[in-house]
Amino acid sequence: MAADVRMFGSTVALGINCLVYAGPDAMGVACALASGALASGLGYAIWYTALPALRSSTAATLQLLVPLLVAVAGVAWLDEPATLRLALAALAIVGGVALVVRGRR
């Protein structure tokens, strides 16, 4: 909890600093609001709606897939390069999740 408070405080301090020295522009504010409200807000709403139906071990395992899902989204929507490094990382993530799932049986 203390780390969360420090991170939040640092973010607020950095945000105030940026506003004072750079000033907000309409596109920047719109992008920040869209990012917070749509991406984060919608994602958390979906996750916390589904969470009560999942066992804690299943939810924890699904959380391990988040980096892979974000990387795939970056390749699909942002034209990020699909590199050998990304493929190896994806294999490691999927392999790790498979080991966790298989170990439960």
pLDDT in the model for residue 105: 62
pLDDT band at 92 (very low <50, low <70, confident <90, very high): very high
Does pLDDT of 44 surpass 70? yes
Residues 6+ apart with CB under 8 A from 65: 93, 97
Model pLDDT, residue 77: 92
What are the angstrom distances between the C-alpha of 14 and each of 6, 26, 35, 66, 96? 12, 19, 17, 27, 36
* Model confidence at 76: pLDDT above 90: yes
pLDDT value at position 47?
84
Q: What average pLDDT does range 35-60 have in this prediction?
A: 83
Task: Give the pLDDT score at 56.
Answer: 86
Q: How far apart are CA 65 and CA 97, in angstroms?
A: 8
Average pLDDT over residues 48-57: 87
Q: How confident is the model at residue 1 (pLDDT cuts 50, 70, 90)?
A: low
Spatial distance between the Cα atoms of 81 and 74, rounded to a whole number of angstroms: 8
End-to-end CA distance of the chain: 34
Residue spans per domain, the chain: 1-52, 54-105
Q: What is the pLDDT of residue 22?
A: 78
